[in-house]
Amino acid sequence: MIRKTITYLASLTLFACANHPTYYPEEAELALFKNTGESEFKMAKNGIERGYAASGLFAVSDRFFGLAKYSLSRHGNCDTCTTNQRDYLEAAVGLGGLNLGKRRGELLMGAGSGKTVSIETADPLSIGGVKQASADYYRSYLQYNLALMETQYLLAAATLRGAAVMNTTYELRDVDTQNLLTVDGKRWAAFIEPAATLKAHWNGVSIYWQLGLSFPISGDTAFNHDRAWSVAGLSYRLDLF
């Protein structure tokens, strides 16, 4: 089991974008608010996908909160990809107070939509020319966060998320000839996505790091996706009222 896990983690780095993915797992958002009116504004960078995200969270009561998020990617410096372009917009609602013993917990339910284009140039597992995949997609998820450790300056949390992703359009094209290789309508897949977050905070300012994995559990076997995410971010928390 340990050997399989190490092999899987190593493959994430070697083939992070080699299969022209059309689904990139998003950062698992944490609120863990304590009071009504608390809010948090965040900027984050995805180290594997080389994307960026901005999000805002707001507690409308001592238990309920909302989330709005926008993420994008524009990069071309991966060994196996010349281009990855993505835009994604998301909204979510959350319920706090779902604790396990003395550990604080919360539940989020969210949905979003986006568009992605990726080009692979050196996939060692494929033959033929350069391929470009493009898709419009919807994503919904249910997520549980649990604070494992909390001190005055540190927070460690674990996340378990179930996500469903549907491509409403999908195209696979040969870049050299511009011939369409595949044109599909709807294709979908479901994923289990665990994550771990470490956060250091002082005077409302926080820096954090998160690592997550994405495991397909059902759906279209040809649904290409990134198998991990690694996010570093900066956030600011304040009381609006």
Lowest mean pLDDT among 25-29, 114-118, 235-239: 114-118
- The average pLDDT across 96-123 equals 88
What pLDDT shows up at residue 14? 42
Q: What is the pLDDT of residue 51?
A: 82
Give domain limits for the chain: 2-239
pLDDT above 50 for 143: yes
pTM of the model: 0.84
Q: Which residue has the higher pLDDT, 211 or 179?
A: 211
Round the average pLDDT of the chain to a whole number and report it: 84
Class of the CATH domain delimited by 2-239? mainly beta
* pLDDT band with cut points at 50, 70 and 90 for residue 117: confident
Residue 16 pLDDT grade (very low, low, confident, very high; cuts 50, 70, 90):
very low
- The full 3-state SS of the chain, as one line of letters, equals CHHHHHHHHHHHHHCCCCCCCCECCCCCCCCCCCCCCEEEEEEEEECCCCEEEEEEEEECCCCEEEEEEEEEEEECCECCEEEEEEEEEEEEEEEECCCECCECEEEEEEEEEEEEEEEECCCCCCCCCCEEEEEEEEEEEEEEEEEEEECCCEEEEEEEEEEEEEEEEEEEEECCCCCEEEEECCEEEEEEEEEEEEEEEECCEEEEEEEEECEEEEECCCCCECCEEEEEEEEEEEECC
pLDDT(64) > 80: yes
Q: Which residue has the higher pLDDT, 143 or 134?
A: 143
Residues 183-230 have pLDDT tens digits of 776 788 999 999 999 999 999 999 999 999 999 998 765 567 888 899
In this predicted structure, the answer to whether residue 43 has a pLDDT above a threshold of 80 is yes
